[in-house]
Copies of this chain bind each other. A is one copy, B any other.
Amino acid sequence: MSDHPMDERAAKLLGGTSSRRRFLRDTTLTAVVVGVATACKNSAAAKPIAQSAAGAAPIPSGSTAVPAISPADAMDAMHEKGIKAFPAATAGKGNQLIEPRIHDGVKTFELTARKIRWETAPGNFVEAWAYNEQVPGPQIRVREGDRVRVILHNELPESTAIHFHGLELPNAQDGVPFITQPPVKGGQSYTYEFTVPNAGSHMYHSHHNSAKQVGLGLLGAFIVEPKVKGPHDDPDVDQVFILNDGAHGYTFNGKSFPATAPLVAKLGQKLRIRFMNEGMMIHPMHLHGMHMTVIAKDGWPLSSPWKCDTLNVAPGERWDVVVNCNNPGTWAFHCHILPHAESDHGMFGMVTALVVQE
């Protein structure tokens, strides 16, 4: 098991333009080619297809001549351009695993909240309020029973505080200003310390002026591995998948299509996805090609797992699912509220792909 082999692969894949191109060639484009080929093998086209997927004519610009391209073809060209750009490189990457300092058996994580510039999609820069300059913030991953210290440094223009959403902490560590602690003012630091009480897929986020602060990016995953492993705690790929829909638009792990990271697994591997919704709307996540088996809600294992291809994730919820990656190809994976995923300019926002490599 690797906690996030996909991240490692994606880092390699996205490391340079040439390797990104290789990724596209190896996965998405291959899929397109295979798709066309298979379709042809099946005598798919009852009439000849005049124009291949890659054959759309470019839109002429700066020309006074009447364009030769029809509005329908122009639309297709925009759609194709978006998909060909996937996965697009952008500055910054959220949800990176943070290593604790360990001293006297206490795992210490430091989080600095600061205003940054964040690129959600190529060229789309927004203001973000971020932990350690990441949206989502660094992924904290500990074990049930660990002693943990989280030191928050507030460099924001207003007060803040951290709530550990889903952890059943002593009241003083719950992170709600004026109920369990004073607000942490700009320029101040504050330390949370606790023994991790319950396993599962949890979150940390601001609980002060939170509609604004969480919307701007003060959020992250807090994963607690159980003391006693269950049947799904050693997946081949383990992926945190945070949904948001606030000031940064429709995002997966802080990025919008085509800059969303694909999920990548090899044929036959077991993929665990930890959905978390930090937004204000539901997002029914639809996976093509394979079903998901729902194994936990808010970190609590289900005694009766159930299967689906469309999982409705509401704000504040976490749902853990496993996918047996038994169907090779590049599979669309998106919110099924279609205006969160596609316009007549092509796919955008809450779209990514699960790539099952043979």
Q: What residues of chain A have their CB less than 8 Å away from a CB belonging to chain B? A: 28, 31-32, 34-39, 42-47, 49-53, 71-73, 75-76, 79-80, 83-84, 151, 153, 157-159, 163, 165-166, 168-174, 176-183, 185-186, 188-193, 198, 207-212, 214-215, 280-282, 284, 286, 288-291, 297-300, 302-310, 312, 314-318, 327-332, 336-339, 341-344, 353
Contacts and interface: CB of A to CB of B under 8 A. Distances in A.
Given A211-B343, A214-B338, 8 more contacts: A38-B173, A42-B172, A46-B151, A165-B286, A171-B289, A281-B337, A303-B305, A315-B337
A343 B169 CA distance: 25
Nearest to A182: B53
B312 A336 contact: no
B72 A186 contact: yes
A332 B176 contact: yes
Contact of A181 (B36, B79, B308, B338): B36
Residue picked from A36, A215, A304, A307, most chain B C-beta under 10 Å: A307
Nearest to A84: B178
B303 A32 contact: no
A191 B39 contact: yes
Residue picked from A73, A182, A290, A303, most chain B C-beta under 10 Å: A182
B178 A53 contact: yes
B331 A174 contact: yes
A155 to B, nearest CB: 12
Nearest to A170: B38
